[in-house]
Amino acid sequence: MTAFANVSPVPFEGPDSKNPLAFRYYNAEELVEGKSMRDHLRFSCAFWHTMRMNGADPFGSPTMSRPWDTGDDSLENAQNRVRVFFEFCEKVNIPFYCIHDRDVAPEGQSLAETNRNLDAVVKVFKEESSRTGIQMLWGTANMFGNPRFMHGAATSCNADAFAYAAAQVKKMLEVTQELGGAGYTFWGGREGYQCLWNTDMKREMEHLAIFMHMAVDYAKEIGFTGQFYFEPKPKEPTKHQYDYDSAACINFLRAYELDKYVKMNIETNHATLAGHNVEHELDYAGSQGFLGSVDANSGDMLLGWDTDQFPTDVAMTTKMMLIILKYGGFTTGGLNFDAKVRRESFEPIDLFYAHIGGMDAFAKGLKVAAALRASGEFDALLRHRYATWDSGIGAEIEAQKHNFRSLSEYMLNKGEISPNTSGHQELCENLLNRYLF
């Protein structure tokens, strides 16, 4: 039985194609800077969005038409969804996937039964993964949906919630290892607070650190060598999430000595919720040596919440790829489409349009970024702007040959600073457009 009988594997047809079910830029084997597009971009499909989002929102009921899904919580339905998922990834040519424990398998009456359900579904993941060669990019645990996590998981006021969460992550690390996952992501669904009056913030942060150390220790114990990621999000569902942005997360990792084990998973829409753009988050993480993986999506600037839309803005994907290339590209990480179709886009075919659009936007962004890098034009502008640091007093300061006394003497002698260079911001913006269009 196939779910997408009317859709053939999506071909690459080139920029002139008008076929909505073809790639115009994503050509998996094409080399860019000596590496295939597949290996640069490492696209991943998010099971929770692609298979489980039903179109419900706070005002309305589910809208999605998913003919293969019986809508019940049975194991058969869960297992069948996995087969459909792999058929989809295969047809759209996506080489990786990401899952939460709870979106792939139903909860049972007890933790033991829940774990058994998960095992039964993981078995199908294994079969389908070896049939298709599609691999797990990272796994994670849903520790926010169930009412037991109403106060958080690792940061809950209830120690049993912490213990339950630990049991869940233990199991999911085993599953991730069994499926050959390249990483494990912490996204603190409810690791934050709504009201400081009833919250011991310091204690909660320490608990989160203890929790992450336990995960790192358990990974070592079972020989799981995948990369851990921390995914920032400033708010939603709680008002103050502890994993606010790259800077807050990296500070947390360093303060609690987790920096050797954990890198960042940066999501575009979470960056904008934090009042940044995704380039800032990527460059901050990259500059500190923490750039791990990306949840590729986009937000709507007119809506103040995490809309998780597919990324189609080529200027944005170009800026993202410029930064990703600057820091050497992905190793364990990739571009995971943490994105869902709009609730009005309810037909199964919309899943194809959405992923094709996102993949093409990043493929084009990669090519533009590579062309810009090859030209050296941005580098030249940057070198020009910082030229005073390359020789003379600037080079001496960088080499730590100065102190306040010597700099004061230098300035007393000189009297006034040398003329500034222009920022040429508009020139930079025009340069990007020249390569885009």
Binding site for Ni ion (CB under 5 A): 267, 295, 306, 338
CB of 49 to ligand XLS, least distance (A): 8
CB of 233 to Ni ion, least distance (A): 6
CB of 267 to Ni ion, least distance (A): 4
- Given Ni ion, ligand XLS, none, residue 140, with its beta carbon under 5 to 8 Å by kind, binds ligand XLS
231 binds ligand XLS (CB under 6 A): yes
- Given ligand XLS, Ni ion, none, residue 186, with its beta carbon under 5 to 8 Å by kind, binds none
Active-site positions read 100, 103
C-beta closer to ligand XLS: residue 22 or 248:
248
C-beta closer to ligand XLS: residue 231 or 283:
231
Q: Check if the beta carbon of residue 436 is closer than 8 Å to that of residue 314.
A: yes
Residues in the chain: 437
Cis previous bond, 237, omega within 30? yes
Which amino acid belongs to residue 88?
F
- Given ligand XLS, Ni ion, none, residue 191, with its beta carbon under 5 to 8 Å by kind, binds none
- C-alpha closest to that of 40 among 117, 103, 80, 95: 95
Q: How many CB atoms lie within 10 A of CB 203?
A: 11
- Closest residue to Ni ion: CB criterion: 295
Distance of alpha carbon 213 from the chain centroid: 22
CB of 185 to ligand XLS, least distance (A): 6
Q: How far apart are CA 8 and CA 426, in angstroms?
A: 45
- C-alpha closest to that of 431 among 372, 364, 385, 382: 372
Q: Check if the beta carbon of residue 259 is closer than 8 Å to that of residue 250.
A: yes
Q: Choose, by CB under 6 A, the member of 338, 348, 352, 370 that binds ligand XLS.
A: 338
Q: Choose, by CB under 6 A, the member of 306, 319, 364, 370 that binds ligand XLS.
A: 306
103 binds ligand XLS (CB under 6 A): no
Size of the site for ligand XLS (CB under 6 A): 10
295 binds ligand XLS (CB under 6 A): yes
C-beta closer to ligand XLS: residue 24 or 190:
190
H or E segment and range at residue 248: helix 246-255
C-beta closer to ligand XLS: residue 41 or 46:
46
Q: How many CB atoms lie within 10 A of CB 280?
A: 18
- C-alpha closest to that of 193 among 153, 129, 154, 242: 242
Q: Which two tokens stand for residue 396?
A: 């001496």
199 binds ligand XLS (CB under 6 A): no
140 binds ligand XLS (CB under 6 A): yes
- Rounded to whole angstroms, the maximal C-alpha distance in the chain is 83
The 3-state DSSP class for residue 294 equals strand
Q: Choose, by CB under 6 A, the member of 187, 193, 229, 242 that binds ligand XLS.
A: 187
128 binds ligand XLS (CB under 6 A): no
CA distances from 331 to 137, 335, 377, 431 (A): 11, 11, 27, 29
- Which chain residues interact with ligand XLS by CB under 6 A? 100, 140, 185, 187, 231, 233, 267, 295, 306, 338
